[in-house]
Amino acid sequence: MVRFEAVGLRYPGGGPHTGSWGPEALADVTFALPPGSFTWLLGPSGAGKSSVLRLMHLALRPTRGEVQVLGLRSSRAPRAALAPVRRRIGVVFQDYRLLPYLSAFDNVALPLRLAGRPEASLRADVNEILRWVGLDGKAGALPPELSGGEQQRVAIARAVVHRPALLVADEPTGNLDNRQARRLLALLREMNRLGATVVVATHDEDLVARFPAPALVLRDGRLHDPDGARGIGADLVADPFAEDAPTGLPDAGRGGYDSEGDDRGPA
């Protein structure tokens, strides 16, 4: 599903046209995540978590080493080969990245419209996923009219409306209170139960302690593995999400859902 092999990553250090590079943001990162796993990506701010996620959703290519996602080796893949794989990946960004002039409905519908889905087909899908995240009554609201937790749920709905095989979330609970964070994690866990491989980056160790799962730990761009978690199955130790789990989950094939549906690539 996801495999990093001795991955190193550098960002341009002297501007886009100077040809110079900064120090390594990631160094010798190696791990493998099996299909259907749920994994925490841990580390303090600046540890390299966002860089790992950007490599996972193919927004970046490694400077050295190899990243394999959903069967694609990204380092040498032609640009045309990236788009079909990106359509199978859902991304929940830390800053939501909702379009402020579009309603909640239209923000969620946007990936399906860009993929050419017929309006009649996508309308049923979008309404159902909004109901699933508890926002069916806010479909017409603009993002500035929604709370932070509601905006985050719209972002999740947009990320999962096409039933991604891989779902990555970058600090998704950073601006939420405890109850909202628990609800959000319940939604991510439900996607995992439906078969998605889920990776959640956070620096909130208390949250991880409450919701135990295998973890990858980054420090200064290097992977530390004190618990031997690399490459193992990622079944939860317990199911602390159950109390907040959403009900009436959308069924594959209902309302036009397609587990291999299309989405736009990450911005």
95-136 confidence digits (pLDDT tens) = 899 999 999 999 999 989 988 899 988 999 999 999 988 898
Whether pLDDT at 232 is above 80: no
pLDDT tens digits, 9-34: 999 875 555 567 788 899 999 999 99
**What does the pLDDT average to over 190-196?**
92
Phi-psi region of 97 (alpha: psi -120 to 50; beta: other; left: phi over 0): left
Residue 214 lies in a domain: yes
Residue 264 lies in a domain: no
Whether pLDDT at 143 is above 70: yes
Q: Residues 92, 106, 189, 35: is their CA dihedral positive or negative?
A: negative
Residue 25 lies in a domain: yes
Count Cβ atoms below 10 Å from residue 205 Cβ, excluding itself. Answer: 12
DSSP codes of every residue in 201-213: EE--HHHHHHS--
Q: How far apart are CA 135 and CA 115, in angstroms?
A: 23
CATH label of the domain that carries residue 66: 3.40.50.300
Residue 228 banded pLDDT, cuts 50, 70, 90: low
Tell me, what DSSP letter sits at residue 227?
T
Residue 237 lies in a domain: yes
Residue 261 lies in a domain: no
Asked if residues 1 and 70 have their Cβ atoms less than 8 Å apart, the reply is yes
Residue 16 lies in a domain: yes
Residue 65 lies in a domain: yes
Whether pLDDT at 261 is above 50: no
Q: What pLDDT, on the 0 to 100 scale, is given for residue 187?
A: 85
Residues 6+ positions from 115 with CB-CB distance below 8 Å: 87, 162, 261, 262, 263, 264
Count Cβ atoms below 10 Å from residue 60 Cβ, excluding itself. Answer: 18
Residue 150 lies in a domain: yes
The gap from C-alpha 72 to its chain's centroid, in whole angstroms, comes to 18
What total number of domains does the chain contain? 1
Q: How far apart are CA 208 and CA 231, in angstroms?
A: 19
Q: What pLDDT, on the 0 to 100 scale, is given for residue 176?
A: 77
**Mean pLDDT score of the chain:** 83
Task: Pull the structure tokens for residue 191.
Answer: 């996607």
> Containing domain of residue 189, as a range?
2-256
Task: Pull the structure tokens for residue 239.
Answer: 């199911």
